[in-house]
Amino acid sequence: MSLFFILNGPNLNLLGQRQPEIYGRETLGDVEESCRQLAEAAGHDIFFAQSNREYELIDWIHEARTQAQGIVINPGAFTHTSIAILDALNAFEGPVIEVHISNIHKREVFRHQSYVSTRAEAVIAGLGVEGYAVALGQLIRLSQR
Ligand code: DHK
């Protein structure tokens, strides 16, 4: 059994309520439920968490160093600003997949830059919340190689 961390950054607690024309109507609870079902069907487990605080995300990435086979991360707006999250991910040895619900490249120019992309094995943007399941499915496949 493998454990995968699925981490979410600021404002994603408002998923389903915030700008639904961009982020959709599903809640983060819905996303957690579908990821949990996917992991459990393959005999694995997830740690699913969200924080509006940069340090909390960093602390979870540090925990992942000894506990997780891989990380799915949607850092929210920290994607575009946080060298500290990039440094934490660089201290994690397993695969990292970056997820964005929206296509950040179709949006404002300040969203086009991602520090995390310089570390991630893959980047999924614009698939809506389905991107989480695609990312987790790929981590599961990688762990079975
Ligand atoms: C979510 C956010 O909160 C934004 O700050 C990012 C990302 C995009 C998303 O599409 O999931 O720019």
**101 in a labelled binding site:** yes
Q: Is 23 a catalytic residue?
A: yes
Q: What is the pLDDT of residue 140?
A: 98
Decide the pairing of beta strands 122-125 and 96-100: parallel
> Among 61, 63, 105, which Cα is nearest to 82's?
61
d(CA 63, CA 98): 18
66 CA → ligand 1 middle, Å: 28
Say if CB 125 and CB 105 are below 8 A apart.
Answer: yes
User: What string of DSSP letters covers 77-144?
Assistant: GGGGT-HHHHHHHHT--S-EEEEESS-GGGS-GGGT--SGGGT-SEEEESSTTHHHHHHHHHHHHHHT
pLDDT at 145: 82
pLDDT score at 80: 98
Q: Report the pocket of ligand 1 as residue ranges, CB < 6 Å.
A: 11, 74, 76-77, 79, 100-102, 104, 111
Per-residue model confidence (pLDDT) at position 142: 96
pLDDT for 51 equals 99
Residue 78 CA: which ligand 1 atom is closest?
Answer: 5
The reported pLDDT for the residue numbered 101 is 98
Domains in the chain with CATH codes? 3-143 (3.40.50.9100)
Specify the residue with its C-alpha closest to ligand 1, atom 5.
77
What residue type is assigned to position 87 of the chain? D
Rounded to the nearest angstrom, the gap between the alpha carbon of residue 17 and the centroid of all alpha carbons in its chain is: 19
Q: Is 2 annotated as a binding residue?
A: no
**How far is C-alpha 45 from the geometric centre of its chain's CA atoms?**
15
Centre of ligand 1 from the C-alpha of residue 104, in Å: 7
3-state helix, strand, coil in the chain (%, to 5): 50, 20, 35
* Residues lower than pLDDT 50 in the chain: none
100 is catalytic: yes
From the candidates 44, 100, 115, 132, which is the catalytic residue? 100
For residue 110, what pLDDT is reported?
A: 97
